[in-house]
Structure 1
Amino acid sequence: MISSDIWLPAALLAGLFQAWRTALQQRLRSQLSVSGAGFVRYVYGAPIAAAMTALYMYVEGLLVSALPPSFLALSMAGGLAQVLATALLIMGFDGRGFVAGTAFSKTEALQAAIFSFLVLDERLSPIAWVGVLIGVTGVLSLALGGAKQSNVFASLGKRGALYGILAGSLFALTGVLVKHATELLPGTDPVAAALVTLTTVMVFQTAMHGAWLMARDPATLRKVVKTWRSSSLVGVLAAVGSACWFTGFATAPVALVRIVGQVEVVFTLAFAHFVLRERLRSHEVIGLLLVGLAVILALTGSRP
């Protein structure tokens, strides 16, 4: 059920900020390990998330009440799922390049539709389901690099594809867990619930990932500090982008938000073409058109 129209601009902005942040993380791979490139989004993003939450609560005259243990458990689980998904996504960049690594993870829209139905009993209209399938077809067109039908299964068996698909599963699970967590908070302001959940999740992520790095890879922690100029921007974009995602999840079905959020692929191609100097090919144009059609169908299917 859609509780506020804010979900649509939130989903569109989430796609923009995520594409921007992912592009910067890809460039950080020359300076940091996979784990380090993922960690910067939490350690530099958590203070931004806390500041946004405090500012919103102050402006709206709201107070944060006691957080239920079940909320904390779901936030921790969602945070861990997102940490693992981000690591897999960055690892997937080495498999078939920046665009393909992101595109493979976009199967999360279909996976989110299935997970949210099974866990949250969220139901999509038939038109929205068609949009999901067309959207997945579009992102796979991007990911498979224009491969012939006979080579599709072989392409899906490659490392980059597997990392991307697994990342999509964990991102889809993250959305479901975050949605469930926001529902456990008292109050009726969905944006406040989203921001409180975001801050809680990012604090857990910083603690969990930071503890692992401190024990297993302290050199990466030092590099994260040394690269603060570029790394902190990743953190800002991660916090703002996640605030948009979480707001979308709090106000609309998870799968619907993920379908619209597939416009990230459009922004990703723009970053890849203009910033990373990757060529735009015919199969990528076809994929973009399919993703656009998927978003239109999803919006049509969301109308009462």
Structure 2
Amino acid sequence: MELWIPITIGAAFLQNLRSAFQKHLKGVMGTTGATFVRFGFGVPFALAFVALLHFGRGDPLPAANQEFLVWAAVGGLAQIAATFLLVHLFSFRNFAVGTAYSRTEPAQAALFGLLFLGEGVTPGALTAIGISVFGVMLISVAHVSITARSLVTSMFARNALIGLASGTAFGISAVAYRAASLALGGPNFLMQAAYTLSVVIVLQTVVMLVWMVWRERAEFGRIARAWKPSLFVGLVGASASFGWFAAMTLQQAAVVKALAQVEMIFTFASSVFFFREKINRLEVAGCVLIVCGILTLLAIG
């Protein structure tokens, strides 16, 4: 088994854990605050990863070049924009369609990987991406009255366009992170991933801080009162991101993001086995398609 596969699965599990705790935090702070803790409280852990590799393993620090800095900035800002657009979708009465289109991230990452990095995706990988993306889209619309035809015809609705834009920004960020990490040229994929994560997460934290000082100062008090769970979100979030960056240094972003859809399986497993929630047929069908897409990826990998 190639190393990027278990790294991606582990990152997906940690991201699922982070998302669960972020939902809890939204009960005590606003969306901006809950988003900020993902970055701000992750900074010390991201820096610790670099320190551990440098002082613990003796890995030399990479030299940040112009290409790296440009791609890191593009990825960090694109991820913030993608998250903002995704959160904005929830202000629509019917946000399910938009959310479904935001899940096209792996397919869009394949396109941007080709355009920006000249990376082609094999027909088998494209098939796997398509299967898993369709499965996630099914899950996204499982609780609304919608057909396959209306899902297609609604493509030009405002919420669908916002969802597509969110998926586009997520796809760009994934490809940009891979490009940034590869631009370092060494010393190894772990240090490249940790270093890239550190630079990106510091940038995102600064951007979020400036925004909150300008527009949402009240969030600082709410964050301070919930610093303990926020610290856990920072740890888990930074660890998940380290996994994503490491996997995307080893493998194309589109392929990693397709396998990362296993996060949905973790989500439903916790819903069924821990919270005793029922899932409907569309959700079951979506989970089956995700599993089929993942198995196809593993078979060709």
Given the two structures, how large is their TM-score scaled by the length of structure 1? 0.89
Aligned to 2:63, the other structure's residue is in SS state coil
Structure 1 CA distance for aligned equivalents of residues 184 and 275 of structure 2: 42
| 1:12-37 deviations in Å (ceiling 9; x for gaps) | 11211112212222232222222211
- Per the alignment, residue 246 of structure 2 pairs with 247
Pair 1:200–1:80, CA change in 2 (3 A): same
Query: How far does residue 162 in structure 1 lie from its aligned partner after superposition?
Result: 4.8
- Per the alignment, residue 222 of structure 1 pairs with 221
Matches within 5 A, 1:172-251: 172-251=171-250
Query: How far does residue 267 in structure 1 lie from its aligned partner after superposition?
Result: 1.5
- Per the alignment, residue 37 of structure 2 pairs with 40
Structure 2 CA distance for aligned equivalents of residues 108 and 144 of structure 1: 17
- Per the alignment, residue 56 of structure 2 pairs with 59
Are 1:144 and 2:158 counterparts? no
Gaps of 5+ in 1: none
Structure 1 CA distance for aligned equivalents of residues 161 and 268 of structure 2: 21
Query: How far does residue 113 in structure 1 lie from its aligned partner after superposition?
Result: 0.9
- Per the alignment, residue 287 of structure 1 pairs with 286
- Please report the RMSD computed on the Cα atoms of aligned residues, expressed in angstroms: 2.6
Q: Which moved more, 1:198-207 or 1:87-96?
A: 87-96
Aligned to 1:122, the other structure's residue is in SS state coil
Query: How far does residue 269 in structure 1 lie from its aligned partner after superposition?
Result: 2.2
Query: How far does residue 129 in structure 1 lie from its aligned partner after superposition?
Result: 0.9
Q: Which moved more, 1:159-168 or 1:25-34?
A: 159-168
Query: How far does residue 106 in structure 1 lie from its aligned partner after superposition?
Result: 2.5
- Per the alignment, residue 112 of structure 1 pairs with 109
Query: How far does residue 152 in structure 1 lie from its aligned partner after superposition?
Result: 2.0
Pair 1:49–1:190, CA change in 2 (3 A): same
Are 1:122 and 2:105 counterparts? no
Q: Which moved more, 1:65-74 or 1:270-279?
A: 270-279
Counterpart of 1:207, as a letter, is V
Pair 1:156–1:268, CA change in 2 (3 A): farther
Structure 2 CA distance for aligned equivalents of residues 104 and 18 of structure 1: 20
Aligned to 2:261, the other structure's residue is in SS state helix
- Per the alignment, residue 75 of structure 2 pairs with 78
Structure 2 CA distance for aligned equivalents of residues 113 and 234 of structure 1: 29
Gaps of 5+ in 2: none
Counterpart of 1:282, as a letter, is R
Q: Is the 8 A contact 2:96 2:141 kept in 1?
A: no
- Per the alignment, residue 260 of structure 2 pairs with 261
Number of residue-to-residue matches in the alignment: 299
Query: How far does residue 142 in structure 1 lie from its aligned partner after superposition?
Result: 0.7
Structure 1 CA distance for aligned equivalents of residues 90 and 271 of structure 2: 12
Query: How far does residue 11 in structure 1 lie from its aligned partner after superposition?
Result: 1.0
Q: Percent identity?
A: 33
Structure 2 CA distance for aligned equivalents of residues 299 and 92 of structure 1: 33
Pair 1:9–1:160, CA change in 2 (3 A): farther
Counterpart selection for 2:16 from 6, 14, 19:
19
Structure 2 CA distance for aligned equivalents of residues 135 and 96 of structure 1: 26
Counterpart of 1:294, as a letter, is G
Structure 2 CA distance for aligned equivalents of residues 284 and 269 of structure 1: 9
Given the two structures, how large is their TM-score scaled by the length of structure 2? 0.89
Structure 2 CA distance for aligned equivalents of residues 105 and 278 of structure 1: 25
Pair 1:241–1:55, CA change in 2 (3 A): same
Query: How far does residue 190 in structure 1 lie from its aligned partner after superposition?
Result: 0.9
Structure 2 CA distance for aligned equivalents of residues 12 and 234 of structure 1: 18
Pair 1:99–1:154, CA change in 2 (3 A): closer
Query: How far does residue 277 in structure 1 lie from its aligned partner after superposition?
Result: 6.5
Q: Which moved more, 1:174-183 or 1:25-34?
A: 25-34
Structure 2 CA distance for aligned equivalents of residues 65 and 272 of structure 1: 42
Structure 2 CA distance for aligned equivalents of residues 121 and 232 of structure 1: 39
| 1:103-150 deviations in Å (ceiling 9; x for gaps) | 553211111111111111112211111111111111111112263234
Aligned to 1:184, the other structure's residue is in SS state helix
| 1:156-214 deviations in Å (ceiling 9; x for gaps) | 56776555433322111111111111112142401110100001100111111111111
